[in-house]
Amino acid sequence: MALSQQRQALSARSSSASSSSRPLLPAVRPRRALVAPVRALAQLPQGVSAPKRLPQAPEPRFGFVYAAERLNSRACMIGFIGTMLVEALAHRGVLDMVGFQIGNGLGFEL
């Protein structure tokens, strides 16, 4: 079913339930709120009942959470600027300081 058909079906359901002139699906809606209209249109197989309530999980403290990603990006920026400062003060690249030979080709030229 196309998105426009889903919206028409939902608006028909909402107009029969209430006579508000406010649109059911605004242009911008949080991601979590989009689950309910899709579930309302989904057909469950025979013998399967819909859950009476949705699970309420707490926000995760570890992993790919917003605060961890923000901290990681700030640490990356500090490290990158620090590397650029070390190279500027030493007038040599980091790989050259470690001992790698840079700019001499791959070593197997003919």
The CA distance from 56 to 35, in Å, is 14
Q: SS3 helix, strand, coil % of the chain, rounded to 5?
A: 50, 0, 50
Total length of the chain: 110
> Stretch 15-41: mean pLDDT, rounded?
53
Q: In terms of residue numbers, what domain contains 24? A: 3-41
Could you tell me if residue 46 is inside a domain?
A: no
Could you tell me if residue 49 is inside a domain?
A: no
Q: How many domains does the chain have?
A: 2
How many Cβ atoms sit within 10 Å of the Cβ of residue 53?
A: 5
Q: pLDDT (tens digit, 9 = 90+) per residue, 30-55? A: 555 555 555 566 788 888 888 888 88
**Its pTM surpasses 0.75:** no
Q: Which amino acid is at 41?
A: L
Residue 23 above 60 pLDDT?
Answer: no
Could you tell me if residue 56 is inside a domain?
A: no
Q: What rounded mean pLDDT belongs to the chain? A: 75
